[in-house]
Amino acid sequence: MLKKTPADIDALKILDGRLRFLSAWTIHHANHIRASADGLKVGGHQASCASMTAIMAALYFHALGPNDRVAVKPHAGPVLHAIHYLLGSQSLEQLKNFRGFGGMQSYPSRTKDQIPVDFSTGSVGLGVAITAFASLVQDYLTAHGMMTEEDRGRFVALIGDAELDEGNIYECLIEAHKHDIRNCWWIVDYNRQSLDATSADRMFERFDEIFRSCGWRTVELRFGKKLSAAIAKFPAIGEWLDALPNADHSALLYQGGAAWRARIEADLGRKAAAFLKAHDDETLGALMCDLGGHCMESLVEAFDRCQDDVPTLFVAWTVKGFGLPFAGHKDNHAGLMNPTQALAMRDAMGVPEGQEWQPLAGVGANEKPGVEALLDRSRIAREKRARSFGQLSIPAIPAPQGEEQSTQAAFGRILLDLAKSGHPLAERIVTTSPDVTVSTNLGAFVNQRGLFKRREIADVFAKAKIPSAQKWSASNNGQHIELGIAESNLFLMLAALGLSGDLFGERLVPIGTLYDPFIARGLDSLNYGCYQDARFILVATPSGLTLGPEGGAHQSINPPLIALGQPGLRHYEPAYADELAAMMGEAFRLIDDPKGESTYLRLSTRTIDQVERNGDSWKDGALNGGYWLKEPGANAEAAIVSMGALMPEALAAWEELSADIPGLGLLSVTSPDLLHRGWTAAQATRWRGDHAPSHIEQLLSQLAPGAGLVTLCDAAPASLSWIGGVLGQRVAPLGVECFGQTGTLPDLYAAYRLDGAAITEAAAEILLG
């Protein structure tokens, strides 16, 4: 930790000013100086940046250690880039291309920005919560001997105050408390303004209570040193400020000294006379802006005081747009200085014309050496960290044996076999589930490998010799992280585990399970994990109508469509156990491949007859998205195209219809997602002169040109119906389009037209049509 000498404070204050100017100028340049090709507003958030430059200067140039990782409030991204620019790790070219194609991103991006970004942010709330899960991953790695004490760091989230309205933060807070997380700092830029206006007063002080009740230390930085001293002298001013509503406070900050005077006079009368006499309008306006989040001494002191591992919430009061002409104005969120205002700011900050991009423009000769020395000593990573791949050795994954199996049971079996095998891969597997460990069939793995908790927890039922199939003791060595029922937490946990190679240099194999319908519950968090290129396996089971007796909202309909549109996530939907084994092997490989991705396995509890195989020729097709389970005859007029748990209906219909439709094929689709991607990718390359047909084109071209397809899936029919567009074949799409209901599978298959009769009718329709 740097020594807190007065010189450091001065240098930090200068850097605060530099960050405020450079972030504002970067946004100004993109909007008002750079040529515009389309006339659209480029945008950017000068006010949100100015709000946190002091906080970020104190953090990055003083408090952060080399192992610390930060999630930066999305709209303060330009400040992070300005920091790297001052450190010499960001180019002028990138700053000048802010929000341009290939330029520095609007919001910090791990994958797209050229500077090191620890966590991407953008969808507010998620960047906050992932820091707590990353801290848990750090504890996990340390406990498992994959990380030394010296390499440990702190996880910091820089938060907008309106961000605190996001529910996922509180879900995370609860989970973090259960797991006793530490080494987390969440620093709130408490400017009391959101996007639309000023924030509600009623939550004042409540945040502290919420956090404290979850074991956090809370530190409020309300007034800066100067304003605190004035309040100590004139306590009535402090009491009055305490009672001042947010909106009034912001309006006065915007209006400035004369307005403060008039309002204080009106409210306090003679009680404030001495105070007002001691300040002219200008010093009064400046004094009222001296909030904790802009006071370098207060920030450095607060950070220095919290050097233990207790999770800490700092609430730093700030002025949104501090030092800018629209400071405090309720509409300033996306406000941009006009050119006159930007030049006035430049002049006021002592930046000579033409030197706007000079890192230390306007810094006096006396101060420069101190500032440069501080920049040199700053211990944050300046290079993008290499990602860790190629660490896993992946064994062959044998298919579980059994003539009748469900894919969910096969999944449990494969993991159990891996756990028992002692193969090195098993050591890197971490499973996690939001209270559906047992019902998604992770139980056997957990029995083998145990739950993870830093503090040992005995299985009370086992100790009391109460019979149970499930062991439930937790220890430092456990490999399953049990979560409460909050699907957003599951995805953030998977994201943090899936970034373990990037954040800590040790790749883990995260496997998360949930019921398929509840993917929707945490969708943005899932997208967030994929956006950062976290690598994990998501096992969604049970799915579709095979949740028959549960009915209603438990029967998932659209997750295959979600997967079709989700980058970074590969959907596989096996019908048979051997397909699943191949897919899991592939999913493990994809986790460890720089060009890989995460995998979503949609599984079912329906036990079905397994097929007899003649060799392994089906496997490549299955991993590419589909294969002919029943090869079509030459120039076949029709095919059934089916996916997953409905394969028995498809097979039965194939048997029945084959007599009437010679050469009828049965295409088993294992991934509409991969087929679709392959199709569009082939089209894109065709424009460049490459004529290689995609996998689905090759499969379908075995049929007669005008052949008809009956598509069948336990999901929205659009998951497969698009296949007709590939070669312009007619389609009769069967699937589920309305909310579920309770019933046996035959009831439901009949009701939703997924049974043999429906397939026959559909086939007749396309053939006759």
Ligand X SMILES: Cc1ncc(C[n+]2csc(CCOP(=O)(O)OP(=O)(O)O)c2C)c(N)n1
Binding of ligand X at residue 566 (CB under 6 A)? no
Binding of ligand X at residue 214 (CB under 6 A)? no
Nearest CB to ligand X, comparing residues 317 and 472 = 317
In contact, 652 and 614? CB cutoff 8 Å = no
Contact segment (CB under 6 A) with ligand X among 68-76, 364-372, 590-598, 727-735 equals 68-76
* Among positions 97, 123, 388, 658, the unique one binding ligand X when judged by CB under 6 A: 123
Binding of ligand X at residue 189 (CB under 6 A)? yes
Partner interacting with residue 75 (select from ligand X, Mg ion, none; CB below 5-8 Å by kind): ligand X
Binding of ligand X at residue 193 (CB under 6 A)? yes
Q: Which amino acid is at 219?
A: V
Binding of ligand X at residue 48 (CB under 6 A)? yes
Partner interacting with residue 714 (select from ligand X, Mg ion, none; CB below 5-8 Å by kind): none
Binding of Mg ion at residue 293 (CB under 5 A)? no
Binding of ligand X at residue 488 (CB under 6 A)? no
Minimal distance, residue 320 CB to Mg ion, in Å: 6
Please name which of 74, 158, 77, 172 lies closest in space to residue 124, comparing C-alpha atoms: 74
Minimal distance, residue 195 CB to ligand X, in Å: 4
In contact, 473 and 450? CB cutoff 8 Å = yes
* Among positions 68, 118, 139, 163, the unique one binding ligand X when judged by CB under 6 A: 163
Q: x/- site string to ligand X, residues 649 to 688, per CB under 6 A? A: ----------------------------------------
Residue whose beta carbon is closest to ligand X: 160
- Token pair 């009748």 in the structure block, residue: 404
In contact, 419 and 449? CB cutoff 8 Å = yes
Binding of ligand X at residue 167 (CB under 6 A)? no
* Among positions 56, 59, 80, 162, the unique one binding ligand X when judged by CB under 6 A: 162
Nearest CB to ligand X, comparing residues 11 and 162 = 162
How many whole angstroms separate alpha carbon 426 and alpha carbon 393?
A: 10
CA distances from 511 to 96, 421, 537 (A): 41, 18, 5
- How many alpha carbons fall within 13 Å on the CB side of residue 317? 22
Minimal distance, residue 300 CB to ligand X, in Å: 21
Minimal distance, residue 77 CB to ligand X, in Å: 11
Please name which of 83, 79, 102 lies closest in space to residue 27, comparing C-alpha atoms: 79
Contact segment (CB under 6 A) with ligand X among 192-200, 384-392, 447-455, 695-703 equals 192-200
End-to-end Cα, the chain, rounded Å: 78
Partner interacting with residue 124 (select from ligand X, Mg ion, none; CB below 5-8 Å by kind): ligand X
In eight-state DSSP terms, residue 718 is H
Partner interacting with residue 48 (select from ligand X, Mg ion, none; CB below 5-8 Å by kind): ligand X
The angle formed by the CA atoms of residues 24, 30 and 35, to the nearest 5 degrees, is 150
How many whole angstroms separate alpha carbon 645 and alpha carbon 642?
A: 9
In contact, 609 and 422? CB cutoff 8 Å = no
H-type alpha helices, 76-213: 77-87, 92-96, 126-143, 167-178, 206-213
Minimal distance, residue 306 CB to ligand X, in Å: 22
CA dihedral 696, 701, 704, 709 (to 10 degrees): 0
Binding of Mg ion at residue 246 (CB under 5 A)? no
Binding of Mg ion at residue 161 (CB under 5 A)? yes
The angle formed by the CA atoms of residues 204, 207 and 208, to the nearest 5 degrees, is 100
Minimal distance, residue 74 CB to ligand X, in Å: 6
Nearest CB to ligand X, comparing residues 169 and 638 = 169
Segment 444-483, which members bind ligand X (CB under 6 A)?
none
Q: x/- site string to ligand X, residues 73 to 102, per CB under 6 A? A: xxx---------------------------
Label the pairing between strands 730-734 and 703-712: parallel
140, two tokens: 């996990």
H helices then E strands: how many in the chain?
A: 34, 20
Please name which of 587, 1, 702 lies closest in space to residue 300, comparing C-alpha atoms: 1
Minimal distance, residue 289 CB to ligand X, in Å: 16
- Token pair 């019902």 in the structure block, residue: 439
617, two tokens: 């020729």
Size of the site for Mg ion (CB under 5 A): 5
Please state, as a whole number, how many other Cβ atoms lie within 10 Å of the Cβ of residue 238: 17
If you compute the radius of gyration of the chain from its CA atoms, what whole number of angstroms results?
30
Segment 291-320, which members bind ligand X (CB under 6 A)?
320
* Among positions 53, 168, 191, 298, the unique one binding Mg ion when judged by CB under 5 A: 191
3-class secondary-structure state, position 342 = helix
Minimal distance, residue 116 CB to Mg ion, in Å: 26
* Among positions 23, 193, 198, 610, the unique one binding Mg ion when judged by CB under 5 A: 193
* Among positions 191, 599, 624, 642, the unique one binding ligand X when judged by CB under 6 A: 191
Binding of ligand X at residue 160 (CB under 6 A)? yes
Minimal distance, residue 320 CB to ligand X, in Å: 5
* Among positions 16, 113, 118, 161, the unique one binding ligand X when judged by CB under 6 A: 161
Binding of ligand X at residue 417 (CB under 6 A)? no
- Token pair 């579709």 in the structure block, residue: 544
Nearest CB to ligand X, comparing residues 58 and 474 = 58
Q: Which amino acid is at 663?
A: G
CA distances from 147 to 6, 137, 390, 498, 536 (A): 37, 10, 18, 16, 20
Please name which of 493, 492, 487 lies closest in space to residue 517, comparing C-alpha atoms: 487
- Taken as a whole, the chain contains a residue count of 769
Partner interacting with residue 556 (select from ligand X, Mg ion, none; CB below 5-8 Å by kind): none
Contact segment (CB under 5 A) with Mg ion among 150-158, 184-192, 409-417, 549-557 equals 184-192
Partner interacting with residue 644 (select from ligand X, Mg ion, none; CB below 5-8 Å by kind): none
Return the H-helix or E-strand segment holding 112: none
Nearest CB to Mg ion, comparing residues 190 and 627 = 190
Partner interacting with residue 647 (select from ligand X, Mg ion, none; CB below 5-8 Å by kind): none
Environment class of 37 (CB within 10 Å of its CB; exposed 0-12, middle 13-18, buried 19+): exposed
Please name which of 318, 295, 306 lies closest in space to residue 186, comparing C-alpha atoms: 306
Minimal distance, residue 115 CB to Mg ion, in Å: 24
283, two tokens: 């010093």
Binding of ligand X at residue 195 (CB under 6 A)? yes
**Inter-axis angle of helices 77-87 and 6-28, nearest 10:** 120
Contact segment (CB under 5 A) with Mg ion among 56-64, 188-196, 288-296, 361-369 equals 188-196
Q: x/- site string to Mg ion, residues 116 to 155, per CB under 5 A? A: ----------------------------------------
Binding of Mg ion at residue 160 (CB under 5 A)? yes
* Contacts of 232 by beta carbon, 8 Å cutoff, 6+ apart: none
**In DSSP terms, which residues pair with 571 in a beta bridge?**
600
How many whole angstroms separate alpha carbon 618 and alpha carbon 82?
A: 54
* Among positions 18, 154, 333, 453, the unique one binding ligand X when judged by CB under 6 A: 333
How many whole angstroms separate alpha carbon 394 and alpha carbon 689?
A: 37
Contact segment (CB under 6 A) with ligand X among 28-36, 111-119, 129-137, 187-195 equals 187-195
Binding of ligand X at residue 171 (CB under 6 A)? no
Minimal distance, residue 160 CB to Mg ion, in Å: 4
699, two tokens: 């499969």
- Binding interface with ligand X (CB under 6 A): 48, 51, 73-75, 123-124, 160-163, 189, 191, 193-195, 320, 333
- Binding interface with Mg ion (CB under 5 A): 160-162, 191, 193
